[in-house]
Structure 1
Amino acid sequence: MAVEIQNFEDLKLNRQVLNAIDDLGFSVPTEIQSKAIPIALAGHDLLGIAQTGTGKTLAFATPLIMKVKYAQGEHPRALILAPTRELAIQISGHFESLAKYTDLRVVTLYGGLGPKTQLEALDKGVDIIISTPGRFLDLYKKGAIYPRGIKTLILDEADKMMDMGFMPQIRNILELIPVKRQNMLFSATMHDKVVKLTEEFLEYPERVEVAPQATVAETIDQVLYEVPNFRTKLNLLSHFLEDESFQRVIVFVKTKTSADNIAHYLDRKSMGPVRVIHANKGQNSRINAVDEFKEGHVRILVSTDVTARGMDVSMVSHVINFDVPLIYEDYVHRIGRTGRAQNEGKAITFANKLEMQHVPRIEALIDETIALETIPKSVLIEKTPFAEQQEMDRAIDNMRKKADPDFKGAFHEKKHKFKDKPTKGKRSRGRKKRR
């Protein structure tokens, strides 16, 4: 009969780790932690499926710290791969807190800045590497990493890695490290690419699934507004931000240009303080913006999906999807920035006519219906510019053509409808000859 886990002491963690957990203020393990930690401590390969914000990092960090134990030699004995630099930095912060009473040397590697500092850190000796796949391979090629001592490999946010096209780099890394090792893979969703990765990566894994795939935390209240165009979205955004209960808000957008434009707009309207982060922003700028947001000095963070995963802020009051994400799993990760650590949160999504086509697929993924609300009467509904309307109509046409090869397009239908329409007394006038 399985022992019921009521506290972290029941997980048979050592005193250094328990003291660190106590310092963090955690007393009761989450479901993913109570189920995954014993399996990881037993040395089995592990497949963990859990929605964002459920404590996955602690679930793999604590058994890894227990396994590696203390500083030894010059070369790494464990590798954690993350899809984005933001997530790598977040994981590093967790390890720094959990390993504070040990002498373990943890080095974090990611792109966006020169490798000099990271090379110097590796040269001093390392026990655990936390890295993005590309930077790990870059520094390996420079001769800075000796991977033959790696006995544990962990992939976090595996579904995002597959979406970002990291499979070739992961395969390259698997060729560099020992075949005999413990593997752990964590993912919020289990789409086909992740299934393929597990088949290549894990050996007879124990599967831990603490919630149905791609479910949303119960602490998040989700609502949807059908909004006709960009200008009306701005008006609705302003309407919400005038409400003081929107204390710490992340606004997610699809493009870097939109992120910059919306941030400038909110600045002009004095809705802030506001910061914007996307791939064109320097690494230090992005880290500083997130830190200011975490500390409460910044009210609004406007971001592309670069931060949907990898930003651990427990008191986000609202997430606003200014645009609907085209990778449906990103919806789960975006709204997972709120409602964390048992706090209540609200996720608001704006969708134009085109984006509404994607909503049923997101609802199918999360297995629930998002409540559709009416735009408040005080919000000005702007007329949709011709170019924006035409772009939406063409995109909808393309979607319908993919679904139905016989569909000729809305323009084709309109043209035939016009041709079939009976004419009313068409007059024919001949030109008068000049005399």
Structure 2
Amino acid sequence: PTPIQQKAIPPIANGQDVMGIAQTGTGKTAAYVLPILMKLKYAQGDAPRALIISPTRELALQIEENVRAFAVNTDLRVVVLYGGIGPKTQIEQVNKGVDIIVATPGRFMDVYLAGHIVTKTLQVLVLDEADKMMDMGFMPQVNRILEVVPRKRQNLLFSATMSDKVHQLSANFLEHPTVIEVTPQATPAQTVEQRLYFVPNIKTKINLLRNLLEVEGDIKKLMIFCKTRVAAEHVFKFLQRRNGDKEVKVLHANKGQNTRINSINAFKNDEVKILVATDVASRGIDVADVSHVINFNVPVVIEDYVHRIGRTGRAYQSGVAITFCNPAEVYYIRKAEKLIRQTIPVHTIPEGVFVEDTPYEERQDQDKEIDMQKRRDDPDFK
């Protein structure tokens, strides 16, 4: 068992409320799913006895997959509820009888308010990736869920970081919890080699990406993170031209639900080697053996730096995380270094990479962003 499993399974099995601070890739899903399965044992009645809430549909599907794998020798019934597709099939599954529901907050409330879920039998409530749930503005829905579930129940809360908001949530949600912190907050996995390149503009970032794909010999699986959908599409189109359709998929909120699921599965099953993604679309995706992560943009939500590079070096394997940083992103990379309590080693742009001039508009955007950062830190800055 991993450290989080060793520490969390006994108190959860004893029925205590638990707050777990652990990054993705540490085996935390099993840390709460296994004791829940031990508690429920076998199918009973038609109404759910355990509810697991997660911020994104991708993560909900992933958790459901884990629950099914662990419950394979039981007759426990699990249903996953998420938006982006019509609720009809999901409601039919709930109506057939269910023991464990895995859901995103909005879709759970929709199905509940439509009268299809009886909550009075619930024994365990799990909030997974609580920090992301708050970042994404799901607190009103989470609070409504807390109003409709029984008072007497076991509560489990998992988060990769311990922000003030998460602290506040735990105070409202947990009763005398056992707090388990496996890694100090926001520490990247020890097995990840981090590199930082200062790159002046988008065109040069593309040139550097081209170079790395040619010279990094051991890229088995690569995730490339972009700040926006536009950037993700831009990088995706470049890679499509370079590598052809068979090598690369893209994942962002504009893609339909099925396309997103297909992209994740293709990447998981080694059908494609490269996945380009935005942060919201990628949180909590558990893909084994990602060898490299490239941050094409530095994330503005600093915690996302940890989540992104946590895609590699999972389950204690080694990995490489490379960040491209333009002048307007230095502010955020310094904040990320502060958060992880490490200085990221700087590498110079290789000789074979052509450094382009920054176009006038792009430079203007960078200057505006830098001024905004200065104002944020010093309200008197003019």
Bucket of the pairwise TM-score, normalised by the shorter protein: over 0.9
1:401 alignment partner in structure 2:
375
* Structure 2 residue identity aligned to 1:55: G
2:63 alignment partner in structure 1:
91
For 1:380, what is the secondary structure of its paired residue?
A: coil
1:327 alignment partner in structure 2:
301
- Cα RMSD for the two superposed structures: 1.0
Contact 2:253 2:281 (8 Å CA) reproduced: no
For 2:288, what is the secondary structure of its paired residue?
A: coil
2:136 alignment partner in structure 1:
164
Are 1:207 and 2:207 an aligned pair?
no
User: Which TM-score applies when normalising by structure 2?
Assistant: 0.98
Are 1:73 and 2:73 an aligned pair?
no
Shift of 1:295: 1.3
For 1:215, what is the secondary structure of its paired residue?
A: coil
Contact 1:88 1:310 (8 Å CA) reproduced: no
Cα separation, 1, equivalents of 2:334 and 2:375: 18
Cα separation, 2, equivalents of 1:312 and 1:373: 29
Contact 1:220 1:339 (8 Å CA) reproduced: yes
The number of equivalent residue pairs is: 380
1:140 alignment partner in structure 2:
112
Cα separation, 2, equivalents of 1:270 and 1:47: 44
Cα separation, 1, equivalents of 2:373 and 2:266: 41
For 1:147, what is the secondary structure of its paired residue?
A: coil
1:61 alignment partner in structure 2:
33
Contact 1:32 1:55 (8 Å CA) reproduced: yes
Cα separation, 2, equivalents of 1:350 and 1:108: 37
User: Which TM-score applies when normalising by structure 1?
Assistant: 0.86
Cα separation, 1, equivalents of 2:282 and 2:170: 23
Are 1:339 and 2:290 an aligned pair?
no
| Percent identity of paired positions between Structure 1 and Structure 2 | 57
* Structure 2 residue identity aligned to 1:257: V
Structure with greater Cα Rg: 1
Contact 2:24 2:286 (8 Å CA) reproduced: no
Q: Counterparts in 2 of 1:30-429, with a 5 A limit?
A: 30-243=2-215, 244-270=217-243, 273-408=247-382
Cα separation, 2, equivalents of 1:401 and 1:215: 29
Contact 2:221 2:290 (8 Å CA) reproduced: yes
Cα separation, 1, equivalents of 2:365 and 2:214: 31
For 2:120, what is the secondary structure of its paired residue?
A: helix
- Which segments of 5 or more consecutive residues in structure 2 lack a partner in the other structure? none
Cα separation, 2, equivalents of 1:378 and 1:189: 39
For 2:101, what is the secondary structure of its paired residue?
A: strand
For 1:405, what is the secondary structure of its paired residue?
A: coil
Cα separation, 1, equivalents of 2:164 and 2:77: 36
Shift of 1:298: 0.3
Cα separation, 2, equivalents of 1:405 and 1:342: 43
Cα separation, 1, equivalents of 2:143 and 2:329: 35
Cα separation, 2, equivalents of 1:402 and 1:72: 55
Cα separation, 1, equivalents of 2:242 and 2:201: 19
* Structure 2 residue identity aligned to 1:100: V
Shift of 1:79: 0.4
Q: Deviations over 1:21-66 (max 9, x none)?
A: xxxxxxxx00000000000001100010112211000000000001
Cα separation, 1, equivalents of 2:30 and 2:233: 34
- Which segments of 5 or more consecutive residues in structure 1 lack a partner in the other structure? 1-28, 409-435
Contact 2:251 2:282 (8 Å CA) reproduced: no
Contact 1:308 1:333 (8 Å CA) reproduced: no
* Structure 2 residue identity aligned to 1:261: H
Shift of 1:151: 1.2
Cα separation, 2, equivalents of 1:163 and 1:53: 20
